[in-house]
Amino acid sequence: MIVVNGEPRERDGATIAELLADLGVEERARGVAVAVNGEIVPRAEWVRQRVDAGDRVEALSAMQGG
Amino acid sequence: MSTEQIGVGGGVFDAPLQIGDRTLRSRLILGTGGFRRLETLAEAIRATRAELVTVALRRIDPSARGSLVDVLEECGVELLPNTAGCYTARDAVVTARLAREAFATDWVKLEVIGDERTLLPDAPELLLAAEELVGDGFTVLPYTNDDPILARRLEDVGCAAVMPLGSPIGSGMGIRNPYNIALIVERASVPVILDAGVGTASDAALAMELGCDGVLCASAIARAEDPVAMAHAIRAAVEAGRLARGAGRIPRRLYAEASSPSEGMADITPPTE
């Protein structure tokens, strides 16, 4: 079990790119950043890096804000 | 003041605003928060003629309609990611690095707030975060208190501009301490951008008359009854205030000073019988 944006998911072993696809985000989408357990995962690693049980994934994008 | 005073005369001209390695013709930076529709945001961007707009970084919302990034790209504006919502230097630094990854920019509007109710900056954390981000190659534009000493400290650690508040974010209370803003301007050798507190056009004009190099405005436009009309108004106010600053206002005085000559008055008293 991992946690993506605060929600538990049965996606152990998935790549970052696969997790983003779950959220409807294409791999080449602009304005997206990912952190796993508070560490930034560079875009180039998204297709390679896999998550392990217990990982906390934050998948972020641009929102309106001052 | 980082730029030359404007000249007025045969033709009105103005030096562009230089922040870091970027040259901006518009002295109004638009915050994108608070607009109810992306279409209105796009119209407001066109009305302000802003070249730089702020964005926040938040968890992906799969149900979100329309892409903010696409809309902003269509408008041809550059993005200034913020660290809104961060309470510690550490969170702000990580958020800035995430934003650099997301938007491929090393510019950041650095916000480190101390309190949910006032959203006022936490000075020690702000300074720590600014120093670390400058060291990491960021162009840092800190949202700061209207404190001349803190502004100087932020400049000393290498911030590319300082952005003092006029009053709390979204309060629309205008510039509560114009004397402090004037003191910040007097001492600063990086651009001073009035950030937060603008409620209507006259607040933006006052900021520029006090010598600020620009104004960052979000809520006053986004939450106005007619955001696009207010975008026009605040754009005009920034230009008017800038012109007035360059033109040099008259000194304030307690008593009247006649503008018509006192010499040469006609003698129109009736003859005495």
**B91-102 as b/e: b if 16+ CB within 10 A:** bbbbbbbbbbbb
Query: What's the token pair of residue A14?
Result: 């998935």
Low-confidence ranges of chain A (pLDDT < 70): none
Active site residues of B: 109
Kindly identify which residue of chain A lies nearest to residue B33, measuring between CA atoms.
Answer: A65
Kindly identify which residue of chain A lies nearest to residue B169, measuring between CA atoms.
Answer: A66
The SS3 assignment for B13 reads strand
Is the Cα dihedral B61, B84, A56, A18 positive or negative?
A: positive
Q: How far is CA A66 from CA A34, A50, A63, B25, B111, in A?
A: 22, 34, 10, 20, 10
Distance between CA atoms of A40 and B151, rounded to whole angstroms? Answer: 30
Residue B255 Cα, gap to closest chain A Cα (Å): 43
Query: What's the token pair of residue A15?
Result: 């790549």
Compare CB distances from B59 to A38, A59, A66 and report the shortest one's residue: A59
Cβ-based neighbour number of residue B233 at 10 Å: 21
The SS3 assignment for B1 reads coil
Contact B151, B144 (CB under 8 A): yes
HSE at residue B154, side-chain half, CA atoms within 13 A, is 37
Instruction: Say if the Cβ atoms of A5 and B60 lie within 8 Å.
Output: yes
Tens-binned pLDDT, residue by residue, of chain B (273 aa): 444 555 554 455 678 999 999 999 999 999 999 999 999 999 999 999 999 999 999 999 887 767 899 999 999 999 999 999 999 999 999 999 999 999 999 999 999 999 999 999 999 999 999 999 999 999 999 999 999 999 999 999 999 999 999 999 999 999 999 999 999 999 999 999 999 999 999 999 999 999 999 999 999 999 999 999 999 999 999 999 999 999 999 999 999 988 999 899 999 999 887
Distance between CA atoms of A20 and A18, rounded to whole angstroms? Answer: 5
Which DSSP letter does residue A43 get?
A: G
User: Can you tell me the ipTM of this complex?
Assistant: 0.93
Q: Let me know if B122 is exposed, middle or buried by CB neighbors in 10 A (0-12, 13-18, 19+).
A: buried
Distance between CA atoms of B63 and B72, rounded to whole angstroms? Answer: 19
Instruction: Say if the Cβ atoms of A40 and B94 lie within 8 Å.
Output: yes
Query: What pLDDT score does A30 carry?
Result: 85
Distance between CA atoms of B269 and B28, rounded to whole angstroms? Answer: 57
HSE at residue B194, side-chain half, CA atoms within 13 A, is 37
Distance between CA atoms of B36 and B67, rounded to whole angstroms? Answer: 14
Q: In Å, how far from its chain's centre is CA B108?
A: 14
Residues 6+ apart with CB under 8 A from A39: none
How much is the mean pLDDT over chain A? 92
